[in-house]
């Protein structure tokens, strides 16, 4: 979830941030955020996401879900476990 994109800001000067959450089988929620990421890197990633969502006809959530599934397949060799 990109809080900036939710507000329609794809190139924030003072980003609110981006976060991905997943429920661990142990019961904890794990979070990966853009905290500490350089502004230029964040802009590059957000620009890529904007281009790809338009090109593929997907929402940002759909694009990120696709990426998560591909990473799971390549790294873990397993299908998505249904986390958020």
- pLDDT (tens digit, 9 = 90+) per residue, 11-47? 999 999 888 888 888 999 988 899 999 999 999 999 9
Tokens standing for residue 4: 């900036």
82: helix, strand or coil: coil
**Alpha helix segments (H runs only) across 1-84:** 3-6, 39-56, 60-71
Instruction: Give the per-residue pLDDT at 82.
Output: 57
Indicate yes or no: pTM above 0.85. Answer: no
pLDDT of 81 > 80? The answer is no
CB of 1 within 8 A of CB of 18?
yes
């Amino acid at each position: 979830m990109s809080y900036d994109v939710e507000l329609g800001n794809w190139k924030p000067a003072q980003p609110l941030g981006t976060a991905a959450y997943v429920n661990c089988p142990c019961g904890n929620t794990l979070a990966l955020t853009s905290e500490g990421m350089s502004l230029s890197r964040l802009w590059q990633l957000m620009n890529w996401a904007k281009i790809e969502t338009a090109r593929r006809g997907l929402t940002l959530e759909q694009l990120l879900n696709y990426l998560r599934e591909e990473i799971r397949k390549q790294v873990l060799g397993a299908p998505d476990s249904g986390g958020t």
